[in-house]
Amino acid sequence: MSDAFTFSENNAPETEQETLDPSPRRRGRPPGSKNKPREGNEQSASPESATAPKRRKRKPKPEDISFMAERLIGLHAMLAGFTGVPEFQLTPIEAMMLAESGLQVQREFDIEVGGKWAVLATFVGVCGIVYVPRFKMAADRARQRKREAGVVINGVATENMRAAA
């Protein structure tokens, strides 16, 4: 005779926890327990403030600004040399102003540029500073050789071709 109240070897609890808590255990955090405001915290109890972390706005560090300003000066010098327009070059004061405002935008919009991406961006920038002027010099040299040989460049006859005609 099997009764729900009779004890047998088959339905005996295996652990001490099962004897204390007869309900089935669920995985993870209990429902409704996350993102509750802590006592003594100045944040309001509204759901928006509980889920969104508050970030302290701070002024950009001087070393960050000077690092960014150096990169801007280099990139603009490269752009000025590549295009032949010297007006693209920045003065150090202009570069500092651009760097400071750029870093403020980065912090205002919570744009994190750090770690792997910062190293990668620096590497790409240095490669550009090293190789772009060399590619430009090689292209200029090839263009000059074509002019000397009398080849039509971009639909325009060179001086040697006009003299031969």
User: Could you tell me the mean pLDDT of each successive run of 10 residues in the chain, 165 residues long?
Assistant: 56 57 72 69 51 59 83 86 89 94 88 77 82 90 86 62 58
**Quick check: is 104 in a domain?**
yes
Tally of domains within the chain: 1
**Quick check: is 129 in a domain?**
no
Q: What is the pTM of this model?
A: 0.44
Range of the domain at 91: 59-111
**Quick check: is 164 in a domain?**
no
Render 32-91 in DSSP notation, one character per residue.
Answer: T-TTPPPTT--S-SSHHHHHSPP----PPPHHHHHHHHHHHHHHHHHHHHHHT-GGGPPP
**Quick check: is 23 in a domain?**
no
